[in-house]
Amino acid sequence: MKKTIAIAFTAVLVLAVSCTKDKKEIESDTTAIRVKVSGIAANNNASFVTASGKIEAENSANISTRMMGYVTKVHVKVGQKVTAGQLLVSINNTDLQAKKAQVDATILQVTAAYNNAKKDYDRFVVLFAQQSASQKELDDMSSRYQMAKASLDGARQMRNEVQAQFAYANLTAPFSGEVTGTFAKEGDMANPGMPLLSIEGASHLQVTAMVSESDITLIKNGMAAQILIKSTGESLTGKVSEVSGSAKNTGGQYLVKINLDNASPKALSGMFVNVQFPIAHQPQRTSAAVTVPQNALTRQGQLTGIYTIGEGNVAILRWLRTGKTFGNGVEILSGLSANEQYIISAEGKLYNGAKVSVN
């Protein structure tokens, strides 16, 4: 029994010595990760106002008709360039053709009656001057002539009405642009007010941005703006053309429109952008935004963090709440103070508590 206890004690002692040795070897093999830190977190001290928005066509329209009929042909496709007046959609107009034929026949009939009444009237004017016709006979001929003239004018107006209806049977482009959507195909029944296709003017683009109530008083018509396209990273310039004075229908945000100076081929309608309005003086603003470059951030799922250096030269992961993005900079709403250093790159894989050495 004593021999068994001695063997067990010896095994435990050997295992403890082995674990201690392995731990020392791991600690001795651990080397600090070389990192590069920023100077300080940028303090964006009220030099501009930022807002989110999207690119839109200055001219856009949904093409519809005010008559009911079957769509006989859609002459364009999505993405096709069109010019003003180009035929887009044709709608069956057999009933209009029949009505036009009826109106034309009526015009022929009333024209003949008008010409006959005019001749009689002119003849009775001469007879009355020669005292060969009475005043009543002249008045009767004058009334007949005026009625025939009114009938002819009414028939011509009916023809104008029918001609106007043909414009809704053959829909044309109201301006030059690009077809952005088709909502009907051949054989569909077109109903009054139902959009058949949409068109946007591709040559004139603008940006619509939503500005918060704390910043809207700083935005003025004609002021310059910098626009960054989020998807491509391309930077554009523009000028404020409209500033809304009400946020009643926009959820507390104020609508601002910016006309682009030079539209880029990469700028497409519907792209989301960040807008920067440079502000020269805004003494009423006391808060300052902290911004960091995007490559300094680390993301885990829906969380965004940044590594700072803690006591003993160890990496500390700080979780952040981010705000707006402009260019390579990201606004930090909480989690990092102004004038605080953070790690921007590392020569190894960082983790919370990893030893680091600053280059």
Q: CATH number for the domain including 115?
A: 1.10.287.470
- Mark whether 271 and 315 lie in a shared domain: no
Q: In the sheet where 189-190 sits, what is the strand order?
A: 170-172, 87-91, 69-74, 189-190
Is residue 12 in a domain? no
Domain match, 151 and 237 both: no
Residue 250 one-letter amino acid: T
Tokens of 55: 């690119």
Of the candidates 166, 184, 217, which is a domain's last residue? 166
Mean per-residue pLDDT, 88-114: 92
CB 172 within 8 A of CB 88: yes
The answer to whether position 3 is within a domain reads no
20 pLDDT band, cuts 50/70/90, is very low
Report the chain's mean pLDDT, rounded to a whole number: 82
Both 147 and 130 in one domain: the answer is yes
Q: What domain count does the chain have?
A: 4
Distance CA 215, CA 209 (A): 12
Q: What is the pLDDT of residue 27?
A: 43
pLDDT surpasses 90 at 116: yes
- pLDDT over 50 (residue 13): no
- Percentage of the chain beyond pLDDT 90 is 29
In a domain, 237, yes or no: yes
Residues 315 and 274 placed together within one structural domain of the fold: no
Whether residue 80 sits in one domain with residue 175 = yes
23 pLDDT above the threshold of 70: no
Give the range of the structural domain holding residue 158, as residue numbers without chain letter. 94-166
Q: Which of 8-17, 75-84, 86-95, 229-238 has the lowest mean pLDDT?
A: 8-17
pLDDT at 24: 42
Confidence of residue 34 (pLDDT cuts 50, 70, 90): confident
What is the pLDDT at residue 133?
85
Residue 289's pLDDT is 63
341: CATH: 2.40.420.20
Q: pLDDT-derived band of residue 86, with 50, 70 and 90 as boundaries? A: very high
Q: What is the pLDDT of residue 327?
A: 64
Residue 5, in any domain of the structure: no
Say if residue 240's pLDDT is above 50: yes
Cβ atoms of residues 259 and 238 within 8 Å: yes
Mean pLDDT within 143-148? 93
**Average pLDDT for residues 280-302, to the nearest whole number?**
70
Residue 185 covered by a domain: yes
Assess whether pLDDT exceeds 90 at residue 278: no
- Estimate the crossing angle of helix 94-129 against helix 135-166, to 10 degrees: 160
Q: Estimate the share of the chain in helix, then strand, then coil, as percent rounded to the nearest 5.
A: 30, 35, 35
210 within a domain of the structure (yes/no): yes
- Listed in sequence order, the DSSP H helices in the chain are 2-29, 94-129, 135-166
How far CA 245 is from CA of 218, 230, 271, 281, in Å, comes to 12, 27, 25, 21
- Across the range 17-28, mean pLDDT stands at 44
- Domain co-membership, 88 together with 173: yes
Does a structural domain hold residue 2? Answer: no
